[in-house]
């Protein structure tokens, strides 16, 4: 795998080197970033302490192991019904790590649309935020 190092000239970048890997997978890029930038901030949201590359990697790998232990593997579908947050990103990257299929569902969709998507997609797992619990609470009681 060839790689080249360029300087990123973006605003606020501090001229950090950008390593480009030809034909790298997302998993390889995350693993390499953890090795290279371990204790630097990787992911953050307003008013929250950012996660370092090492913390982000650890949470992705731990969640991927948990998902695998619950039967999620290559091609399995995993729904994500939540607002933007670092947790959303971690779930998405853990799903991708397993070569499973993420099914992102917009949190502002009406309950009927959420139920339709979940019914059609046959998801193996569902991650949702506390705000979205009501949308799926009665899901098992409703006819398809």
Residue 125 backbone phi and psi in degrees, to 5: -145, 160
pTM for the model: 0.78
Q: Give backbone dihedrals phi and psi of 41, rounded to 5 degrees, phi first.
A: -65, 135
Condensed to tens digits (0 to 9), the pLDDT of residues 45-73 reads 888 899 999 999 999 999 999 999 999 99
pLDDT, tens only, 7-52: 444 445 566 666 665 558 999 999 999 999 999 999 988 888 999 9
- Domains of the chain with bracketed CATH: 3-141 (3.40.50.980)
Contact 79, 105 (CB under 8 A): yes
Alpha-carbon Rg for the chain, nearest whole angstrom, is 18
């Amino acid at each position: 795998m060839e790689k080249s190092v360029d300087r990123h000239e973006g605003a606020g970048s501090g001229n950090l080197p950008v390593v480009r890997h030809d034909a790298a997978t997302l998993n390889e890029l995350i693993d390499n970033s953890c090795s290279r930038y371990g204790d630097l901030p990787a992911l953050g949201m307003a008013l929250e302490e950012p996660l370092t590359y090492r913390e982000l990697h650890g949470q992705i790998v731990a969640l991927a192991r948990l998902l695998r232990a619950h039967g999620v593997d290559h091609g399995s579908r995993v729904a994500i019904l939540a607002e933007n947050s670092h947790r959303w990103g971690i779930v998405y990257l853990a799903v991708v790590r397993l070569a499973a299929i993420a099914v992102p569902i917009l949190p502002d969709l009406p309950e009927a649309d959420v139920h339709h998507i979940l019914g059609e997609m046959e998801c193996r797992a569902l991650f949702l935020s506390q705000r979205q619990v009501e949308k799926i609470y009665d899901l098992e009681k409703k006819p398809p």
